[in-house]
Amino acid sequence: MGILLLNGDQLIQSRLRGNRTNVVTLLIPERTLLRYPEKERRILPKRIPILLKRYGKFLSSSRRLGKRAETTLYQSSPGKRKMKKINVRIGIESWVLLGVLAQTHGVSRCFLFNYLLYLEESEVGDSIVKTMNQGAPTFHKDYRYILHLDLSNHRISRRLKCNPRYFFYVSDH
């Protein structure tokens, strides 16, 4: 009898450079775009960093948007011509954080972006910004997305672990 040795300690790692950007494409329902003035439509995706600052901690601790860990929820298409592609140049850190939060919630980046716009339009941020962000750091120090696939027990889960995990020290000033 022989022994089979496997090296499962493989890692993909990159350095996040704050000023590096990528050109990405987002799909936005036409009905969402029509709620904004023409000038604002073009720059809508550039609001991603601002929306993440405002809702990042909220999204990391809120109930997950997707219902099933084994699938990714995409926005329902109102028809082929009703979804608009918007290209935008976005900072790599914002794009990666949007992706981690989307994966944790079991949804696509486009779905999460539209959800962030919905939160903003509903003025949810106005009610949580003082509670979640005032006197505290805007973001957690680090985020760890874990997709756990347990084949022997036929289970799958998505989890986000953040540091600090449960609390922030908040300044009163």
Count of structural domains, the chain: 1
Q: Does residue 169 belong to any structural domain of this protein?
A: no
Q: What is the pLDDT of residue 60?
A: 84
Residue ranges making up the domain that contains 106? 21-134
Q: Who contacts 87 (Cβ-Cβ below 8 Å, separation ≥6)?
A: 23, 24, 25
* HEC profile of 99-116: HHHHHHHCECHHHHHHHH
Residue 164 belongs to some domain of the structure: no
Residue 153 belongs to some domain of the structure: no
Residue 160 in domain: no
pLDDT at 99: 92
Residue 88 lies in a domain: yes
Confirm whether 26 is domain-assigned: yes
Instruction: Give the model's pLDDT for residue 139.
Output: 59
Whole-structure pTM value? 0.79
pLDDT band at 82 (very low <50, low <70, confident <90, very high): confident
Q: Give a yes or no: residue 11 inside a domain.
A: no
- Are 116 and 49 in contact, with CB atoms under 8 Å apart? no
Do the domain assignments include residue 119? yes
Residue 163: burial class (beta carbons within 10 Å; 0-12, 13-18, 19+):
exposed
Tens-place pLDDT, residues 93-132: 889 889 999 999 999 999 999 999 999 888 877 777 666 5
